[in-house]
Amino acid sequence: MSGGGSVWALAMGWALAVLCGGARGLDSSCLAGGKHKAAPSPEEQLGTCQLYAANACCSPKVAQEISSTPRAKVNDIYWNRCGTFSPRCEHYLQRVECFYRCSPSAARWPHPQRPTAVLEVPLCLSFCEEWYEACKDDLTCARNWVSDWQWGPEGNNCSRDCVPYSQMYRDGRELCENIWGDSFVATREPCLCLSLAASDPEPLAEDGDSSEEPDATKAGGTRGPCPASGPLQRARGGLRKRSIFMEDVEGSGSGF
């Protein structure tokens, strides 16, 4: 493929920049396109997504869409095709959605082929296990919430029977690494990972100093990635995967 070399070079260049601390100013950017703002700025009222109000990549209107689920669809995907979620399960779905839509940190993990997408954001395995525990008795009919739907005039519809999360996914890792395709990877502490909470550490020092000692006192542990799951090691495989956090899913009309 003629563009394959340039895409791979882009991925490698981004990975090297991350590993070397070249992330200066990334939190002044947002993921491109769609419902993301051009640049983050303060917002007073973000409802469920208030965590990101001081420097948000989403508008209050987008935050309201997330806060109002399951009464409304989010990103053109109805979350409640198997019935209303329990409040605990819905809370975790909203946290993930708020991060993607509202956090400028999401721009630290851009997909090398799709600028509106994220690729392999490291979620703490403990967060994934808590998410699984909260949702294990709720029902779903899609393992991958992009590719497993049947699309029609009324949007996304089930293409299989509704089953409990505990039947669709074996554990928290399987949930995190499948429900939104290749957007997330479950990572064990003390490697760099996020719990999508105020206690999350900075993924990289804003001053770009890669020589800074790891701060093990912050939730999520060190600033640097683990060798087995860092961007250099995973970039090649990621290029072959399907990203789910994108504005247009082929043939579906979905926002994911």
Residues 177-227: tens digit of each pLDDT: 999 988 999 999 878 899 999 988 765 433 333 333 333 323 333 335 564
226-241 residue pLDDT tens: 644 444 334 333 333 3
Nearest of 86, 83, 80, 96 to residue 48 by alpha carbon:
96
Q: How many CA atoms does the CB half-sphere of 76 hold within 13 Å?
A: 20
Average pLDDT, the chain: 74
1-15, 60-74, 162-176, 210-224, range with the lowest pLDDT = 210-224
6, with CB counted inside 10 A (0-12, 13-18, 19+), is: exposed
32-58 residue pLDDT tens: 887 899 999 999 999 999 999 999 999
Tell me the C-alpha distance between 199 and 149, whole Å: 35
- Phi, psi dihedral angles at 8 (to 5 degrees): -65, -40
Residue with tokens 């939104």: 180
Tell me the C-alpha distance between 193 and 125, whole Å: 8
Nearest 5 degrees, angle CA 161-CA 96-CA 235? 95
Is residue 97 helix, strand or coil? Answer: helix
Which pTM value belongs to this model? 0.73
For the chain, the domains span 28-239
Residue 81 confidence (pLDDT) above 70: yes
Max avg pLDDT among 1-15, 98-112, 127-141, 203-217: 127-141
